[in-house]
Structure 1
Amino acid sequence: MATIYEVSEAAGVSLATVSRVMNGNAKVSDRTRKKVEDAMAKLGYQPNAIAQSLASNRTNSVGLLVSELHGSYFGDLMSTVEQELKQHGKHVIITAGHVDEKREHEAIEFLKSRRCDALILHAEAVSDDYLKTLVKGKTPVVIINRKVDELDDNCFVVDNEKGGYLATKAVLDKGHRHIAYISGPLFKKDASDRLDGHRRALEEVGIAFNEDAVFEGDFHESSGQEGMQRLQQSYPQLTALVCANDEMASGAMTAAREAGYDIPSQLSIVGFDNVLFSRYLYPKLTTINNPIHAMGEMAAYWVLQHVYDIKSPIPIEHLFVPEIVDRDTLGNP
């Protein structure tokens, strides 16, 4: 079996240079990197991951915490982070917290025990104080889809309040005045911010906020279906429905069709997230673009730059602006 010494000799470089190439260090020219990689390929050299870790104090692995392992939203986040880090020889260890404080805490401790070089967290249940303490530790941490006071440089977040405002304003601009709303679980900051935006849009045109026109869902399709069924009873005059994510909007569309509504001539529906399936629903769903792909990309760039000294190809942004994606489910009352 070839050794690092033989790679060094074959490539005509120092042991330190071979080590830098294996650890993805940016301070190696492309020409030198290719010489080392060619020598490794010719000799059939396989780096020892444990030895690399001990020598560099790096595991070349990044921990990623998500709320769930299913669904387009988290699928997009996981694939984006993995793709960006993989390009630089870094691996991703993924675990789920299931929106439960104890399980999120256990998942984060698991990632730390694997000696991850950094953590990317989509954490919804642990407290802000816990995250602030975590950031002060030895392992670099970035947080996605959650703004924590005093941690602006570590957070990547969309303006959820503005997104909720834009969704309802789009409905109001079409002339709707009887508007119902299906929220996510309101203990989540993104869900409560989106509802605040909805409320602000109503107040701007002098419409009083009506509790009977709101159903609290759980961000899953089934609660969108249940929400539509309930709102038919509590607010039968509704002509438009704003949903806090696309999954619930999809469920609401199913319930609306089963109840005999034509979309959008009898009922307009707007979602939030702009996940992949939203453009394949019938009718195609009007929604708010939640740039989770861009947030995941930026989080990966932050880790590469701050942890591995690999310069980001573009300036790192922390706050993302939502936009309306106008398709086919929004019409006049």
Structure 2
Amino acid sequence: MEKKTITIKEVAEYANVSQATVSRVINGQASVKEKNLVKVQQAIEALGYTPNLAAQALASSRSNSVGMLVGSLDGPFYGPLMHSAEDELYRAGLHFIVTSGQESEVKERDALNFLRSKQVDGAIVHSDKLSDDELKQFAHGFKALVVLNRFIPELDHQCLSLDNELGGYLATKNLLDNGHRHIACITGPLSKPDARDRLSGYIRALAEHNVAYDPRLTIEGRFDHEGNFVKAYDLLANAGTITAVFCQNDNIALAVYDACAKLNLTIGEDISLVSFDNDLMSSHMRPRLSTVGFPIYEMGKLAGKMIIDQLHEKQTLTSRKLVPQLVERDSVKNLNA
């Protein structure tokens, strides 16, 4: 027996809303009350309604899909970022396609070309390798675009980032306020703007406390785990007067914990530590890690909302910069006491 085709009318009757409301939900239009959106989504699931996507796209000149370019498909940063963005887009009836650039200029370019070939309505882009000029060219290929963690003046109202300079400043200031003056910094790759900005915040905090910046105390590491242990071990084995370290993310801090264990140094006593990101693991390390919180879920959610607003011509006039907060725990010794 041929399966019965469910119509929009039947979905509307089941949800007790108008057919126009059902149509707005299916087409991802924002002007739907929350309670009606939920009722329609429940009706669609209960009845097994499947929209005619080809006809829908042809009628609306939209694919009802949004693409996202990230650096990696796993890890404590990109995972929550993708999840929160998808939640926001799904609520608006939009499908989500994710691609990874894997820290390669060629792969990032291929990924954006792939999303453009799929005629996605919008793209959320976290690119480390492509130039501003190339991203500006790609912006013309999408109805909506949000660029994460960088600022491009010509796309200012489409940029969403964290104030990384302030984050580096807050982390270093916490150590300085606790009496530390010999503070090392293990950075992420300095080819990345967020690593450079966090380093600038470190240098600003030192200057405000009349502590001369010593470039010998700045060690370039990586935001992933690769190679950080060796660099942390070498730094601490020859620490001299160093009493504290600012780690530019929690992966780097984890390597410092391992190096301290190898050298029989006690964190929070022999060496103080402030990190960046506030990953889930930071509250479970011992001692618990003081760190600057990165509002990853908020960034993903806001990126999705910015895409939706652009698709409905509600563009913001300025770029958005999220404010980090210091989370104080147990990894810093107060030398003033």
In the alignment, which residue of structure 1 is the partner of 2:264? 260
In the alignment, which residue of structure 2 is the partner of 1:329? 331
TM-score w.r.t. the length of structure 2 is 0.88
- Count matched residues: 330
Query: Structure 2: any 5+ residue segments left out of the alignment?
Result: none
Cα 1:226–1:318, aligned 2, differ >3 Å: closer, same or farther?
A: same
In the alignment, which residue of structure 2 is the partner of 1:237? 241
Instruction: Say which of 181, 204, 208 aligns to 1:204.
Output: 208
Give the letter for the 1:180 counterpart. A
In the alignment, which residue of structure 1 is the partner of 2:198? 194
Cα distance in 2 between the residues matched to 1:39 and 1:213: 61
Quote how far apart the aligned CAs of 1:242 are. Answer: 0.5
Cα distance in 2 between the residues matched to 1:36 and 1:268: 54
3-state SS of 2:66 partner: strand
- On the 8 A contact 1:4/1:18 being kept in 2, the answer is no
Cα distance in 2 between the residues matched to 1:207 and 1:30: 54
Give the letter for the 1:201 counterpart. A
3-state SS of 1:98 partner: coil
In the alignment, which residue of structure 2 is the partner of 1:49? 53
Cα distance in 2 between the residues matched to 1:18 and 1:51: 16
Cα 1:124–1:55, aligned 2, differ >3 Å: closer, same or farther?
A: same
In the alignment, which residue of structure 1 is the partner of 2:81? 77
Q: 1:204-245 deviations in whole A, cap 9, x for unaligned?
A: 222222222111011123433222112124543211010111
Cα distance in 2 between the residues matched to 1:225 and 1:99: 21
- On the 8 A contact 2:65/2:121 being kept in 1, the answer is yes
3-state SS of 2:153 partner: coil
Cα distance in 2 between the residues matched to 1:17 and 1:208: 63
- On the 8 A contact 2:12/2:40 being kept in 1, the answer is no
In the alignment, which residue of structure 2 is the partner of 1:294? 298
Give the letter for the 1:179 counterpart. I
Quote how far apart the aligned CAs of 1:134 are. Answer: 2.3
Cα distance in 1 between the residues matched to 2:8 and 2:183: 71
Cα distance in 2 between the residues matched to 1:31 and 1:289: 33
Give the letter for the 1:162 counterpart. L
TM-score w.r.t. the length of structure 1 is 0.89
Relative to structure 2, which stretch is displaced further, 134-143 or 98-107? 134-143
Cα distance in 2 between the residues matched to 1:230 and 1:71: 26
Cα distance in 1 between the residues matched to 2:57 and 2:29: 14
Cα 1:27–1:329, aligned 2, differ >3 Å: closer, same or farther?
A: closer
Cα distance in 2 between the residues matched to 1:80 and 1:5: 29
In the alignment, which residue of structure 2 is the partner of 1:147? 151
Quote how far apart the aligned CAs of 1:57 are. Answer: 1.8
Relative to structure 2, which stretch is displaced further, 53-62 or 28-37? 28-37
Give the letter for the 1:142 counterpart. V
Give the letter for the 1:288 counterpart. V
- On the 8 A contact 1:7/1:45 being kept in 2, the answer is no
3-state SS of 2:302 partner: helix
Task: Give the root-mean-square deviation of aligned CA atoms.
Answer: 2.9
Quote how far apart the aligned CAs of 1:36 are. Answer: 7.0
Identity of aligned residues (%): 41
In the alignment, which residue of structure 2 is the partner of 1:2? 5
Cα distance in 1 between the residues matched to 2:308 and 2:178: 45
Q: Structure 1 residue 120 and structure 2 residue 127: aligned?
A: no
- On the 8 A contact 2:11/2:47 being kept in 1, the answer is no
In the alignment, which residue of structure 1 is the partner of 2:95? 91
